[in-house]
Amino acid sequence: MESVPGASSRGDRKVIERNRRSQMRALYAKLNSLLPHQSSRESISLPDQLDEATTYIKKLQIRLEKLKEKKLNLVGTDNKRNAHGSQIHNGGMILGSKSPKVETHQMGSALEVSVITGLDCQFIFNEFIRILHEEEAEVVNASYSVVHDAVFHIIHCQIGEYGNRAERMSERLKRFVYGSGTF
């Protein structure tokens, strides 16, 4: 029996095409499985599945951008500022519509830190706790109160009796709030 020229290559192409289609079906099914499903999901045509996947990915991209923007605003690294906006710079200085006020009072081995900020300085409290911890102060009590558009933070710490630790901590906290200028 003589083989027809090109017959085996035609069979090879059919197998290759069948494998390609099978692989594409598997990929479409995998893509479809990643989409949020409604409870009554009927069989959807392939173009509709792709359209749904495209729409879902675009929504995720928009959500991601909004979350990134929100993170920048919360962390305070957003360099855009409106006329009364607020901003925490990584260099330490805080600017804003309601400038923070810091006072420290030493009473023996105890230190009381009072901070008044606007609602737009959300992370100053955390930074103060971090700085006090770095200075090896033991935070005994920390609280805050919100009155209208002002936040009152009170931190009580144990610092020990030795040296000028209270003065050093006070200067460091004020440098964080006001920058390296005059307090």
For 139-177, write each residue's pLDDT tens digit.
888 888 888 888 888 888 888 766 677 788 888 888 888
Q: What is the C-alpha to C-alpha distance for residues 95 and 169, in angstroms, rounded to an integer?
A: 21
Does 96 have pLDDT greater than 60?
no
The whole-number pLDDT of residue 87 equals 42
The whole-number pLDDT of residue 162 equals 62
- Average pLDDT, integer, range 102-112: 84
Extract the tokens encoding 41.
Answer: 């999901």
CA 4, distance to chain mean position in Å, is: 67
The whole-number pLDDT of residue 164 equals 75
Spell out the domains of the chain, with CATH numbers in brackets.
Answer: 7-75 (4.10.280.10), 87-178 (3.30.70.260)
What is the tens place of the pLDDT at every residue in 53-84?
999 999 999 999 988 888 888 776 544 443 33
Q: Which residue has the tokens 């009927």?
A: 42
Give the residue ranges of DSSP H helices in 34-180.
Answer: 46-75, 124-134, 165-178
Tell which residue, 65, 170, 163, 66, has the closest CA to residue 113.
170
